[in-house]
């Protein structure tokens, strides 16, 4: 049982490291922006859709939070990375 647990931990760590490597590679592709620029795009898009200033700012902050926690987020076809 202990071997299975250790193997599971190693597999999970390998997946997390692999995901981080892919995120870093994608960050250097064209069509990617930083989380802060993505947040600004979301805010401007929300304003264009008719949200109030507070609502648009809230959506931008929500996007920033999500992007920083997960390491990446998407705004339309643009990928944002931390």
Among the listed residues 21, 38, 36, the one whose alpha carbon sits nearest the alpha carbon of residue 79:
38
The model's pTM: 0.61
What is the C-alpha R_g of the chain?
A: 17
Contact (Cβ atoms closer than 8 angstroms) between residue 59 and residue 51 = yes
User: Between 62 and 82, where is the model more confident?
Assistant: 62
Q: What is the pLDDT of residues 50-63, one digit of tens each?
A: 999 999 999 999 99
pLDDT higher than threshold 80 for residue 29 = no
């Amino acid at each position: 049982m202990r071997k299975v647990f250790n193997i599971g931990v190693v597999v999970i760590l390998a997946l997390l490291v692999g995901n981080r490597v892919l995120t870093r590679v994608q960050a250097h592709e064209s069509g990617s922006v930083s989380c802060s620029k993505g947040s600004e795009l979301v805010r401007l898009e929300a304003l264009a859709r008719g949200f109030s200033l507070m609502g648009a700012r809230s959506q931008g902050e929500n996007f920033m939070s999500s992007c920083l926690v997960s390491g990446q987020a998407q705004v339309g076809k643009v990928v944002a990375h931390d």
